[in-house]
Structure 1
Amino acid sequence: MSNRTTVMVSIVLAMLVASMDTTIANTTMPIIVKEIGGNDLYAWAFTSYMVLSTVLAPLAGRLSDLFGRKRIYAAGILLFLGGSILCGLSQSMLQLIIFRAVQGIGAGVMMPFPSIIAGDIYPVEQRGKVQAFFTAMWGLSAVLAPLLGTFFVTYLSWRWIFFVNIPICIVSLIALQPYKEVYQPKKSVVDYGGAILFAGGISLLLLTTTVDRYNALFGVVGALLIIVFIFYEKRHSAPIVPLNIMRNRPVAIMIAGSFISCAALFGTSSFLPLFLQNQGHSLFISGIALLGTSIGWMVVAVPSGKWVLRYGYKPLLIAGNLLLVVTAVMLFFLRESTSFWYSFGALTLLGLAFGLIFTVSTIGAQQLVEANQKGISTSLQLFARNIGTAVSVTIMGAILTKSSAFYTGFHGMFVFGLIVSVLSLAIPFAIRSTSKQTA
């Protein structure tokens, strides 16, 4: 096995456990609450993981630019491993929340590295295939997680949803050892102040999407911290999030486009299974429908690297967002009598759209910046998607729960999705250059 293949094993396994951990916890949390109590803290077991995994991604990307990919990535695996062991040993809900936070930190550090390391070791024309493989892992995790969760709570214990991560993380660490840095890190003073301001501000803003109390206070304080962070970073000699990356017009547009496209429709995968279950389909069948997204994603992701070299970024991003608008129109016409295959087709089209948008944007984030900014650029793309997804799920959930009838709520959700997807379509037109590799 070549060193490159071994390293791929490492990053794919880390991606698998990090992506699976949220879903598998969703499946088993009611069982956990029955055993250890703490129903009033139920939501925080998800919130602590989600907030910290989202916030840490861009910080980890920047640290990899300063200290090297291998060191920071390995630290993320070890944190996730330690958090998993502690979660499995939890005796109260408060302990589980704290240890889920540790897991979330580890997951946040790990998540940017599949794309970052793949960008280091594969040429542009092969990165689409690699991104497609990563997508397959996300699709696999969506199917495996509920099945494993059900198996563990039925035949073993809910604690095994965390203990199962131990051997996977160990294998991932071992497989990482042959990796040789192809990028020489640019060491600098660590901007601890900027990291604290960024993490605090974004965490508080994210809390407004997941908790019911003190939303206004969290939002105001979070916004103030981000404003202070921006002024602080402008004066710092080695900022943790270099704001000058936003002067790179195509990269800035791709980051904005990733956020808006996710805000438009990425929450669909959270709600369409509920729609199918309301029609009488089983949990398994509604989960199978989500495979349509993975299939569509892989179909376009595989050739995307070659397409970038041939057509450039701008036309491909326009095509991806046009597919997103067509998907929104399909979802707009969902009705109680809609067939399973119509929903499956809409999700497949959604996969085609996001597969094109995300793969092309990831390649652009790596090709259009200097080597010492590749980590932060790639992780900012991931961060923008995560924030957009949080916005999408929050707004769609609010529309659904506040509607007078279930199907009326779904119609309202996709009115929102259609409007925002049209806005997303307008964004790539702002890219001036259409150069094929250096757009």
Structure 2
Amino acid sequence: MATRQASWGNLLSGPNLAHSMALSGGVALHAINVFIATTVLPSVVREIGGLELYAWNTTLFVVASILGSALTPTLLSHSGSRGAYAIATIFFIAGSLTCALAPSMPVMLIGRTLQGLGGGFLFALSYAMIYAVFEEYLWPKAMALISAMWGVATLLGPAIGGMFAQLDAWRAAFGVLIPITLLYIALVWWVLPTRNRGATPSTGKLPIAQLLLLIAAVLAVSAGSASPDPLWNAAGVLLAIVLMLFLIYKESISQVRLLPRNALRRKSPLLALYLTIGLLVIGMTSETFMPYFLQTLHAQTPLISGYLAALMAAGWTVSEIWSSSYKHNGIRRAIVSGPILILAGMVVLALATPIHAQGDWLILAFICLGLTLIGFGIGLGWPHLLTRVLQVAPAGDQDTAATSITTVQLLATAVGSALAGMLANLGGITHPGGIEGTSSAAFWIFAILAIAPLMAIGSAVRVVRSLGQEQQLQLSAKTAS
């Protein structure tokens, strides 16, 4: 198996094609919803208010997604693949309906939470089933295909959201997701078996304490970020750090874990992988306010601003598909180069976005360059980072390792979005507001969050060293034999 050549033809033919459609479709639905919400939120705020709660739309969505991700192994074990997807879509439809009917921002947040829970299930189910339905030599291609759905979402999500926003019918943007979701579950029911052939019996136990600590940490930093008072911001961050330390301790002594065994030990290869994945995603969450910046500072329509913001995901998709066939030295170069490109993109955005240019094409070109660099940098090593998580996970922890990918990714999204919200408030997006406050907020978001890819360079080097040592051992063993 190790010598078999992975190709897109192998992945997209025979039974693999049907499985690819089912797994990638769930991520596409989740991702399209993310871009729809991002595109229409400025219109939502103009109609029902709640600018001070703007970032909470993403935070609560992702917190609920983390919960869904952590519950996925148990859901799969008890309900099988079809049942798990059915439950996921029920939550997703309920959330979409609530958003479509929301009379106020608090009700909208309830809908986004339900959407997040369903989306978390859909997102984690895709990764949880990769190792079960595909052979290992196809894992990097499957990872790339699933993440490529974010590229599909860059075409459909902003188009749907922007079209309805410009028609002053943002509610229909959420409503249209309901029939699409019903069609998707019909496809899954037809394609997937009743039971996942790779499923392992569930103990019925969940890492409740770790989940509560994780959610409390995210909510703490989010609650602090909602205040314009720096003391509350600092208090939220400090409380989140304390809660995360308790979580790490609980993981080290518990039999039922949120992550694979020994994942958080200092010399664990999984720790370096999780740090790299998380820091890259935090850099990407700088996109949270981009449609608002583009509409306020650069005179762009909801449709155009949605597409420009989606350049980040488009760059991610292109580079991930391109790099999925890399081997050995190519993989190592991609993993280290990614954070460097993201850092460069963040610097470009910190300089260009705050300028009140009202549509100047040169400034918009630099913004497009920055967004593309960030996305390209994330995708460059992404399929190999995720595949590596499955490869180095301890025996018997494959289910936990698969869902940990989405848990870490979603946690980083929640923390990054909360930090973006905090930096926006501190920068003055609501006080003094207007052009001056929005410009200041744009600078501080990109300048401060650029620290994340800078730190990711160090963790990526650790990943590459571990990978290089393993490849050297394999080469030596092969030579000896």
Q: What TM-score do you get using the length of structure 1 for normalisation?
A: 0.80
Contact map agreement 2:288 2:417 (CA 8 A) in 1:
no
SS in 2 for 1:239: coil
Match of 1:168 among 156, 180, 183: 180
Match of 1:425 in 2: 457
Match of 1:401 in 2: 428
Counterpart code for 1:347: L
Contact map agreement 1:365 1:374 (CA 8 A) in 2:
yes
Match of 2:113 among 92, 98, 101: 101
Match of 2:159 among 136, 144, 148: 144
Residue 258 of structure 1 pairs with residue 277 of structure 2: yes
Match of 1:416 in 2: 448
Contact map agreement 2:336 2:460 (CA 8 A) in 1:
yes
Match of 1:324 among 330, 342, 355: 342
Equivalent residues in 2 for 1:173-184 (5 A)?
173-177=185-189, 178-180=191-193, 181-184=196-199
Change (3 A) 1:192 1:297: closer
Change (3 A) 1:264 1:162: closer
CA distance in 1, matches of 2:95, 2:50: 21
Match of 1:385 in 2: 412
Match of 1:59 in 2: 70
Contact map agreement 1:273 1:287 (CA 8 A) in 2:
no
Number of corresponding residues: 434
SS in 2 for 1:244: coil
Contact map agreement 1:313 1:364 (CA 8 A) in 2:
no
Tell me how far 1:164 sits from its aligned partner: 1.9
Match of 1:304 in 2: 323
SS in 1 for 2:263: helix
Tell me how far 1:281 sits from its aligned partner: 4.1
Equivalent residues in 2 for 1:260-275 (5 A)?
260-268=279-287, 270-271=289-290, 274-275=293-294
Tell me how far 1:437 sits from its aligned partner: 11
Change (3 A) 1:204 1:219: farther
Greater CA drift, 46-55 or 109-118: 46-55
Q: Deviations over 1:177-236 (max 9, x none)?
A: 322424132421312632652354234225325533976776666555545544444443
CA distance in 2, matches of 1:408, 1:31: 22
Contact map agreement 2:225 2:422 (CA 8 A) in 1:
no
Change (3 A) 1:437 1:165: farther
Contact map agreement 2:340 2:457 (CA 8 A) in 1:
yes
Change (3 A) 1:107 1:347: same
Contact map agreement 1:48 1:104 (CA 8 A) in 2:
no
Counterpart code for 1:258: I
Tell me how far 1:172 sits from its aligned partner: 1.8
SS in 1 for 2:145: helix
CA distance in 2, matches of 1:89, 1:283: 21
Change (3 A) 1:69 1:238: farther
Greater CA drift, 189-198 or 358-367: 189-198
Counterpart code for 1:383: L
Match of 1:204 among 189, 212, 219: 219
Tell me how far 1:17 sits from its aligned partner: 3.5
Tell me how far 1:313 sits from its aligned partner: 4.7
Tell me how far 1:109 sits from its aligned partner: 2.0
Tell me how far 1:107 sits from its aligned partner: 1.8
CA distance in 1, matches of 2:331, 2:453: 19
- Gap runs ≥5 in structure 2: 1-12, 475-481
- Gap runs ≥5 in structure 1: none
Counterpart code for 1:426: G
Equivalent residues in 2 for 1:39-78 (5 A)?
43=54, 46=57, 49-63=60-74, 70-78=82-90
CA distance in 2, matches of 1:95, 1:294: 28
Q: Deviations over 1:226-264 (max 9, x none)?
A: 455444444433234445233472321121112223334
Change (3 A) 1:64 1:285: same
Residue 356 of structure 1 pairs with residue 380 of structure 2: yes
Match of 2:6 in 1: none
Match of 2:7 in 1: none
Contact map agreement 2:62 2:410 (CA 8 A) in 1:
no
CA distance in 2, matches of 1:89, 1:437: 58
Match of 2:297 in 1: 278
SS in 2 for 1:208: helix
Contact map agreement 2:281 2:412 (CA 8 A) in 1:
yes
CA distance in 2, matches of 1:101, 1:142: 19
**Among the aligned pairs, what percent are the same residue?**
16
Q: Deviations over 1:355-378 (max 9, x none)?
A: 114333222222322434332332
Tell me how far 1:139 sits from its aligned partner: 1.4
Tell me how far 1:167 sits from its aligned partner: 1.8
Tell me how far 1:353 sits from its aligned partner: 0.3
